[in-house]
Amino acid sequence: MTAPAEAARRPLPTGFVDDLRLLFGDRLQLGDAVRLQHGSSETHFSPVLPDAVVFAHSTEEVVALVKLCTAAKVPIIPYGAGTSIEGNTTPVGGGVTVDLSEMNAIVEVNVEDLDCTVQAGVRREQLNEYLRDCGLFFPIDPGANATIGGMASTRASGTNAVRYGTMRDAILRLRVVTPDGRDIWTSRRARKSAAGYDLTRLMIGSEGTLGIITEVTLRLHGIPEEILSAVCSFETLAGAVETVVQAIQLGVPLARVEILDDVQMKAVNRWAKLDYPELTTLFFEFHGSKRYVQEQVEAVGELARSNGGGAFRWSNLPEERSKLWRARHEAYYAAVGLRAGAVGWPTDVCVPISRLAQCINETKKDLEDASIPAPILGHVGDGNFHVIFVIDPDRPEEAAEAERLNGRLIERALAMDGTCTGEHGIGLGKQDWLLAELGQSVSVMRCIKQALDPLNLFNPGKIFPFEGPVI
């Protein structure tokens, strides 16, 4: 497995653990099992253990922790559900991991304003279950049952992004603890503002390197009158991609549209015990009034037929739709399950929609010659797709092959004016590619980091190469 560039860690100062215990009591954990859980990744990165794990229950406790760690020059790594996949929460310099998952209160729901405020540890599914009786829902769906704070920190996206946008679009304001211990709100609850710098957008996607998010105010949406899901298989990958591109260009307001290639469909059938054709397949979802949904269905059906699509399998029953999307959400585990003892090396890129077909087709040709399984899937409605390299962790040549293929994929996307990551973030895995993508803009990011976190204590080693705390 890929080992992160672990920094030479300093031992915790004398008396520091006693101070942590005074602050958190039995919510301070020093055992190897808990530390391993918080130092491991969902994917191919080798674990690095924090020196300690604490479970925060309030913003005030986070403020106290930050002041304690700053005084002792001990790194702090915020942690939610642990579902990030680019090593985003790996404590490469040791330090204290602050687990925010027990900060899981829904603070308020403003039905008339279509917004709510939640603590950072609230899970996506928990929030939607709470909102259901209000006739509202929160649409951002990255697949994993992630925490809202973690989704904000990594600028998460997901299956609904083509219609409802990403976390960048869903967040109205954030409550953040800064590296010098200030407890701030980045804005008010108004839908728009021209008041000063946009601190909200600065913190979204910063991966805990600029501040620790403790509360989030979110935009909500009304539950649609009609929700209809559909599955359609295609003889060719190109036909499936062209159907999506043409639907977007025609202005069809797809709520969700996901692509799974033939390799991924084989994995999904085996994992979820389904019987779909093992061909490139599109998963659709349509939202709106009954008449509006029917118009969307007819338009997309015609496009699919013209591009070699087969018969549509429809469902508007909640339990059937849930089964369909659960299969999509578990696609990563299904892919890894193609090989016993394997680990996944997932990657993603995003390109302008007009270049999507070319990018996916060229990538597929690359992968057909690979010695390792590498399914393609993605949120193609916004130009974003993923590849999951399924590798044997005991065979370094497979990791090298995955790295080579990943490099070709990202170079291809950048040549098309795309990005090296549509939603996974930079973390540990894509730091060199961030520089290739944005050049001197990265030096501006470094200046912001230096200004807000001069001791480099907030999730050090992420986004930029590790340089160690300033002593």
With CA atoms as reference, report the closest residue to 345 among 383, 273, 402, 303. Answer: 402
pLDDT confidence band for 471 (50 / 70 / 90): very low
Residues 158-216 have pLDDT tens digits of 888 889 999 999 999 999 999 999 999 999 999 999 999 999 999 999 999 999 999 99
What one-character DSSP code corresponds to residue 430? T
pLDDT in tens, 94-148: 999 999 999 999 999 999 999 999 999 999 999 999 999 999 999 999 888 999 9
Q: Mind spelling out the 3-state secondary structure of 15-63? A: CHHHHHHHHHHHHEECCHHHHHHHHCCCCCECCCCCCEEEECCCHHHHH
CB neighbours (10 Å) of residue 305? 14
pLDDT at 329 over 90: no
Q: pTM of the full predicted structure?
A: 0.93
pLDDT of residue 113: 97
Provide the 3-class DSSP secondary structure of residue 65: helix
Q: Which residue matches tokens 């954990």?
A: 29
Task: With cut-offs at 50, 70 and 90, classify the pLDDT of residue 470.
Answer: very low
Give the Cα separation of 204 and 154 in Å (integer).
7
Separation between Cα atoms, residue 373 and residue 335, nearest integer Å: 8
Tell me which residue of 437, 418, 431, 439 sits closest to 462, measured CA to CA. Answer: 431
Type and span of the H or E element at 166? none
Give pLDDT tens digits for 358-392: 999 999 999 999 999 999 998 888 899 999 999 99
Helix (H, G, I), strand (E, B) or coil at 204: coil
Q: Residue 165 is which amino acid?
A: G
Q: How many CB atoms lie within 10 A of CB 313?
A: 14
* H-state helical runs in 143-289: 148-153, 161-164, 167-170, 199-203, 237-249, 262-272
- Amino acid at site 31: G
Backbone angles phi, psi at 347, to 5 degrees: -145, 160
Q: Where residue 401 falls among pLDDT bands split at 50, 70, 90?
A: very high
Give burial (CB, 10 Å; 0-12/13-18/19+) of 31. exposed
The whole-angstrom separation of Cα 309 and Cα 354 is 20
Beta strands 52-55 and 96-99, pairing class: parallel
Residue 326 above 90 pLDDT?
Answer: no
DSSP H or E stretch at residue 300:
helix 290-306
Q: What is the pLDDT of residue 14?
A: 93
- The CA distances from residue 89 to 49, 376, 461, in Å, are 11, 25, 10
- Scan for tokens 């340089």, then name that residue: 467
Q: What number is the average pLDDT over the span 13-36?
A: 97
pLDDT of the residue at 6: 57
Structural domains for the chain: 106-222 (3.30.465.10), 226-332 (3.30.70.2190), 335-426 (3.30.70.2740)
Those residues whose C-beta lies under 8 Å from the C-beta of residue 24, and which sit 6 or more positions away, are 54, 55, 56, 61
Rounded (10°) CA dihedral 427, 123, 286, 382:
-10
Average pLDDT of the chain, as a whole number: 93
Mean pLDDT across the stretch 22-40?
Answer: 97
* φ, ψ of residue 117 in degrees (nearest 5): -120, 130
Tell me what percent of the residues of the chain surpass a pLDDT of 90: 85
What pLDDT is attached to residue 7?
Answer: 59
User: Phi then psi for 36, rounded to 5 degrees?
Assistant: -65, -40
Is a pLDDT exceeding 70 seen at residue 466? no
Token reading at 304: 């699919």
Residue 21 has pLDDT above 60, yes or no: yes
243-to-233, 380, 435 alpha-carbon distances in Å: 11, 10, 34
Distance CA 227, CA 317 (A): 9
Q: How far apart are CA 28 and CA 181, in angstroms?
A: 20
Average pLDDT for residues 69-90, to the nearest whole number? 94
> CA-CA distances (angstroms) from residue 192 to 85, 109, 198, 219, 415?
32, 19, 11, 12, 35
Token readout for 328 is 């999509």
Q: pLDDT tier at 323 (50, 70, 90 boundaries)?
A: confident
Q: Is 101 helix (H, G, I), strand (E, B) or coil?
A: coil
DSSP annotation string for 214-254: EEEEEE-EEPPSEEEEEEEEESSHHHHHHHHHHHHHTT---
User: Residues 287, 255: contact at Cβ < 8 Å?
Assistant: yes
* pLDDT tens sequence across 271-298: 999 889 999 999 999 999 999 999 999 9
- The bridge status of strand 96-99 relative to strand 76-79 is parallel
pLDDT for the residue 143: 80
Q: Rounded distance, CA 436 to CA 447, Å? A: 18
Q: What local confidence, expressed as pLDDT, does residue 250 receive?
A: 92
Residue 215 — φ and ψ, nearest 5°?
A: -145, 150
